[in-house]
Structure 1
Amino acid sequence: MSPSTTMPTSSAPTRRSMSPEAPQILAFAWPRESPDAGAEAQAWRDALRARGWRVLDAGPGLEVWGYGRPLAVRRLHAGLLLVGEAHPRTPGASCPQFDQPLLRTARALADHHWGEYLALLREPGADRAWVFRDPSGGLDALTWRAGQIVAVANEITHLPFGLSPHDLALDWDAITDFVRRPLASLDRCGLAGFHTVTPGDLHPLGASPGEAVPIWRPAAFAGNAAMEDAEARLRAVVDEVVDVQARRVGRAVAEVSGGLDSAIVAISLARAADPAANLIGLNYYGDRPEGDERPWARAACAAAGLPLVEVAKPVGEVDLSDFTDFARAARPAFNALDGDRDRHTSRLALAEGVDAVFTGKGGDAVLFQSPTPRVLEDYRLAHGRIPWGDPFALDVARWLRRSVWSARRAARRSSAPAYGARAGIWGARTREAVTTPAHRWLTDLDDMPPAKRMQVELVAASQMAAGPCRRTAVAQVRHPLLAQPVVELCLAIPAWAHVAGGRDRAVARRAFADRLPAVVAERRSKGALTSLYSRRTAASLAVLRPFLIEGVLAEAGVLDRRALDAALQPDALIRRPDGARVMGAAMVEAWVRHWQGRAPDLRTASRERLRSRA
Structure 2
Amino acid sequence: MDLGYLIILKRSGLLTKALDLGLKPVQRASGLRLGASLTKLDLFVGSSTDLLELPNGTLLVGRLFDHSGNRIRDASSFPALTQLSEIRDHLVSNFWGQYVAIQGGGDPQEPITVLRDPSGGVPCVYLTDSDPAFITSDIALPERLGIYQRRVDWTTIPYYLNYPHSKKRQTALAGVNELLPGCVIKLGPQSAHTSIAWSPWTFVQPERRFKDATQAALGIRQTVEMAVRAVTTGEASILLELSGGLDSSIIASCLRGTDAKINCSTLVTPVPGADERFYASLVASDLDAPLHVEQLDFGAAAFNFPLVSNPTSPAVTMLQQATDSLMERSARRHASTCHLSGGGGDTVFGYLGNASPAADAFRASGIFSGFTAIRDLAELHRCTTWKAGRLALKKLLLTPRPARVADTAFLTPFAVTSKPPSHPWFNAPAGALTGVQERVFDLAGTQSFIDGLPRSRLRAFHMPLLSQPVIEACLRVPSWMWIAGGINRAVARDAFSDALPPQVVARRSKGTFAHFTGALFRRNRLAMLEFLMEGELQQHGLLDTVALESFFRREHHARNETFARVFDLCMIENWIRHQH
TM over 0.5, shorter chain: yes
Task: Note if contact 2:168-2:421 (Cα within 8 Å) is conserved in structure 1.
Answer: no
Task: Note if contact 2:378-2:385 (Cα within 8 Å) is conserved in structure 1.
Answer: yes
Out of 172, 190, 212, the position equivalent to 2:194 is: 212
For residues 388-537 of structure 1, the aligned pairs below 5 Å read: 390-411=371-392, 412=395, 413-420=398-405, 422=407, 424-437=409-422, 439-445=423-429, 447-467=431-451, 469-537=453-521
Measured in 1, the distance between the counterparts of 2:369 and 2:220 equals 31
Measured in 1, the distance between the counterparts of 2:84 and 2:28 equals 35
Task: Note if contact 2:3-2:62 (Cα within 8 Å) is conserved in structure 1.
Answer: no
Task: Note if contact 1:303-1:515 (Cα within 8 Å) is conserved in structure 2.
Answer: no
SS in 2 for 1:345: helix
CA deviation after TM superposition for structure 1 residue 320, in Å: 4.6
1:524-577 CA distance string (max 9 Å, x none): 111111121121122122431111122122233433211211222461364733
Shift of the 590–268 alpha-carbon distance from structure 1 to 2, 3 Å rule, reads: same
Out of 45, 53, 58, the position equivalent to 1:80 is: 58
Measured in 2, the distance between the counterparts of 1:109 and 1:339 equals 35
Structure 1 equivalent of residue 91 of structure 2? 109
Amino acid at match of 1:71: T
Measured in 1, the distance between the counterparts of 2:242 and 2:576 equals 34
Measured in 2, the distance between the counterparts of 1:481 and 1:493 equals 15
Measured in 1, the distance between the counterparts of 2:196 and 2:558 equals 45
Which is bigger in relative contact order (C-alpha 8 A, separation at least 6)?
1
SS in 2 for 1:213: strand
For residues 124-143 of structure 1, the aligned pairs below 5 Å read: 124-126=107-109, 128-143=111-126
Task: Note if contact 2:361-2:369 (Cα within 8 Å) is conserved in structure 1.
Answer: no
Shift of the 126–570 alpha-carbon distance from structure 1 to 2, 3 Å rule, reads: farther
CA deviation after TM superposition for structure 1 residue 367, in Å: 0.7
Shift of the 286–415 alpha-carbon distance from structure 1 to 2, 3 Å rule, reads: farther
CA deviation after TM superposition for structure 1 residue 38, in Å: 7.3
Measured in 1, the distance between the counterparts of 2:131 and 2:416 equals 40
Shift of the 468–289 alpha-carbon distance from structure 1 to 2, 3 Å rule, reads: closer
Structure 2 equivalent of residue 7 of structure 1? none
For residues 101-180 of structure 1, the aligned pairs below 5 Å read: 101-122=83-104, 124-126=107-109, 128-145=111-128, 147-160=130-143, 163-164=146-147, 170-180=152-162
SS in 2 for 1:410: helix
- Residue identity (%): 25
1:291-339 CA distance string (max 9 Å, x none): 22111111111122221001222234733553x3258431223377422
Amino acid at match of 2:193: E
Out of 314, 317, 331, the position equivalent to 2:297 is: 314
For residues 258-337 of structure 1, the aligned pairs below 5 Å read: 258-269=244-255, 271-274=256-259, 277-316=260-299, 318-322=301-305, 324-326=306-308, 328-334=310-316, 337=319
Amino acid at match of 1:236: Q
Shift of the 171–515 alpha-carbon distance from structure 1 to 2, 3 Å rule, reads: same
**1:233 maps onto 2:219 in alignment:** yes
Out of 213, 220, 240, the position equivalent to 1:254 is: 240
Out of 171, 181, 194, the position equivalent to 1:199 is: 181
- Structure 1 residue runs of 5 or longer lacking an equivalent are 1-20, 598-614
Task: Note if contact 1:256-1:283 (Cα within 8 Å) is conserved in structure 2.
Answer: yes
- How many correspondences in the alignment? 566
1:442-493 CA distance string (max 9 Å, x none): 1235632111111111211112222253422332110010010000010111
CA deviation after TM superposition for structure 1 residue 162, in Å: 5.8
More deviation in 444-453 or 485-494? 444-453
Out of 35, 55, 76, the position equivalent to 1:57 is: 35
Measured in 2, the distance between the counterparts of 1:177 and 1:328 equals 20
Amino acid at match of 2:229: D
SS in 2 for 1:572: coil
Structure 1 equivalent of residue 6 of structure 2? 26
Shift of the 39–432 alpha-carbon distance from structure 1 to 2, 3 Å rule, reads: closer
Measured in 2, the distance between the counterparts of 1:237 and 1:208 equals 43
CA deviation after TM superposition for structure 1 residue 417, in Å: 4.1
Out of 519, 522, 540, the position equivalent to 1:556 is: 540
TM-score, normalised by the number of residues in structure 1: 0.85
Task: Note if contact 2:435-2:479 (Cα within 8 Å) is conserved in structure 1.
Answer: yes
SS in 2 for 1:192: coil
Structure 1 equivalent of residue 567 of structure 2? 583
Measured in 2, the distance between the counterparts of 1:107 and 1:353 equals 39
Shift of the 466–290 alpha-carbon distance from structure 1 to 2, 3 Å rule, reads: same
- Structure 2 residue runs of 5 or longer lacking an equivalent are none
SS in 2 for 1:184: coil
Structure 2 equivalent of residue 539 of structure 1? 523
SS in 2 for 1:370: coil
More deviation in 251-260 or 311-320? 311-320
1:85-119 CA distance string (max 9 Å, x none): 01122455844356422211111110011111000
Structure 2 equivalent of residue 601 of structure 1? none
**1:66 maps onto 2:45 in alignment:** yes
Amino acid at match of 1:558: L
Out of 353, 359, 363, the position equivalent to 1:377 is: 359
Task: Note if contact 1:336-1:470 (Cα within 8 Å) is conserved in structure 2.
Answer: no
SS in 1 for 2:244: coil
Measured in 2, the distance between the counterparts of 1:65 and 1:180 equals 37
Task: Note if contact 2:162-2:416 (Cα within 8 Å) is conserved in structure 1.
Answer: no
CA deviation after TM superposition for structure 1 residue 208, in Å: 10
Shift of the 249–326 alpha-carbon distance from structure 1 to 2, 3 Å rule, reads: closer
Amino acid at match of 2:505: A
Task: Note if contact 2:200-2:475 (Cα within 8 Å) is conserved in structure 1.
Answer: yes
Task: Note if contact 1:334-1:464 (Cα within 8 Å) is conserved in structure 2.
Answer: no
